[in-house]
Amino acid sequence: MAITSVAPRGGIIEEIDGVSYTFLLRSREIERYEDLHRGIFDVWDGFFGRGQKPTSSEVKDIVALALVGGGKTDTDADRIVEKATPADLFRFYEIAQAALGVAFMPDVFDEAELKKKEQQQDGDSVVLM
């Protein structure tokens, strides 16, 4: 596995237009988001059906800020997001939701892998009578 395909802790790797990018929401990006929109926990609730769903501009801003957290400049992140068409919005929604989720729960993928390995080991254990 190439080093570029491994997400940093609290981040994800996703593709946009066939190009792989790192998405990472750090505190400073979350604060920038809140300065422009609303509280991040309100957005979290919206992503999971417990509040107002994020608007397309909120989703695009989360994606852009996560690109910045992943190492892109503001200009590059804006350029990547601005090229999007309405057909890209659902994919951006998924990326924004995943970036926010892993920012709040950075070990979720590690825990899922550990649980999967434990289940495989349990399945490999055969009781002979």
pLDDT value at position 117? Answer: 63
Amino acid identity, position 43 = V
| Structural domain containing residue 59 | 3-124
Answer for the pair 42, 84: CB distance below 8 angstroms, yes or no. Answer: no
pLDDT, tens digit only, all 129 positions of the chain: 455 578 889 999 999 999 999 999 999 999 999 999 999 999 999 999 999 999 999 999 999 999 999 999 999 999 999 998 999 999 999 999 999 999 999 886 665 565 666 666 666 554 454
pLDDT for 61: 98
92 CB-side CA count, 13 A: 26
Name residues whose C-beta falls within 8 Å of residue 92's C-beta, 6 or more positions apart in sequence. 59, 60, 63, 81, 84
Q: What is the pLDDT of residue 109?
A: 60
Q: Looking at the domain assignment, is residue 129 inside a domain?
A: no
Domain membership flag for residue 117: yes
Query: Is 110 among the domain residues?
Result: yes
User: How many domains is the chain built from?
Assistant: 1
